[in-house]
Amino acid sequence: MKHHRVLRVAAKLLIPFILLFALYVQFHGDFGPGGGFQAGVIFAAAFILYGLIFGLENARKVAPPALVTRLVALGLLLYAGVGYGGLLRGGNYLDYGVLLENSVAGQHLGILLIEFGVGTTVAATMISIFFLFAGRDT
């Protein structure tokens, strides 16, 4: 898409805001509508847009597939790890209240980490699905 200047300029303008909006949806999820699922998909959309406009090769440089695959696993590990954290501190599995001395602060920390794990996994999964389909030669 070398010659589509309008598309390239528009995409360059849009991508930072898409990423920013994704981060807003991710971290504002504590107080308003939002959360990891939605944020992850929006975040991945920015990468997919980049891949569509600037080509798969460039997109792979920005988000190396090996790293993306690892992030899928790491997000899930973070989620499960927070759950085990609750166990270690004497609560039930996924009980965030016990993570910190103050139960409300613990709830905040817990849901933040959990949603971050979800967001990471969802974004990485979406990007790797895009890579896998777009990377087929046939």
Partner 1 sequence: MSGLAAHLPALQVVVPLFAAPLCLLAGRAGLAWLIVFVASCLATATAAGLAYQTFQHGTLSYPLGGWAAPWGIEYVVDTANAFILLLVSAISTVVLMYAPASVDREIRQGRRHLFYCMFALCLTGLLGIAITGDAFNVFVFLEISSLSSYALIALGGHRKALTASFQYLVMGTIGATFFLIGVGLLYMMTGTLNMADLQARIPAIQDSRPVLAAFAFITVGLALKAALFPLHLWLPNAYAYAPNVVSAFIAATATKVSLYVLLRFTFTIFGAKFAFLDLPLHWVLLVPAVIAMFAGSFSAIFQRDVKRMLAYSSVAQIGYIVLGIALSSAAGVAAALIHIFNHGLMKAALFCALGCIFHRIGSVRLEAMAGLGREMPWTMAALVAGGFSLLGVPLTAGFISKWYLIEAAFEAGLWWLVVLVVLSSMLAVVYVWRLLEALYFKPVPEGRAAVAEAPLSMLLPTLLLAAANIYFGLDTRLPVEMAQSAATILIREQIW
Partner 2 sequence: MLREILAHYNYWIVIVLMMTGFYIVVSRGNLVKKLVGLNIFQTSVFLLYISMGKVAGGSAPILDPDIKVYANPLPHVLILTAIVVGVATTALGLALVVRIREAYGTIEEDELDLMDDEA
In the bound state with partner 2, the residue whose beta carbon lies nearer, of 42 and 122, is 122
What number of H helices and E strands is found in the chain? 5, 0
| 68 interacts with partner 2 by CB under 8 A | no
- How many CB atoms neighbour CB 8 within 10 A? 14
90 near partner 2, rule: CB under 8 A:
no
Only one of the segments 4-12, 57-65, 79-87, 127-135 lies at the binding site for partner 2 (rule: CB under 8 A); that segment is 127-135
Q: Within 5-44, which residues bind partner 2 (CB under 8 A)?
A: 32-33, 37
- Which positions touch partner 1 (CB under 8 A)? 69-70, 72-74, 76-77, 80, 83-84, 86-87, 91-97
For 56, residues 6+ apart whose C-beta sits below 8 A from its C-beta are 131, 134, 135
- CA nearest to 118, candidates 46, 51, 22: 22
The CA distances from residue 69 to 58, 63, 131, in Å, are 17, 10, 11
By CB under 8 A, residue 133 contacts partner 2: yes
The residues binding partner 2 (CB under 8 A) are: 32-33, 37, 122, 129, 132-133, 136, 138
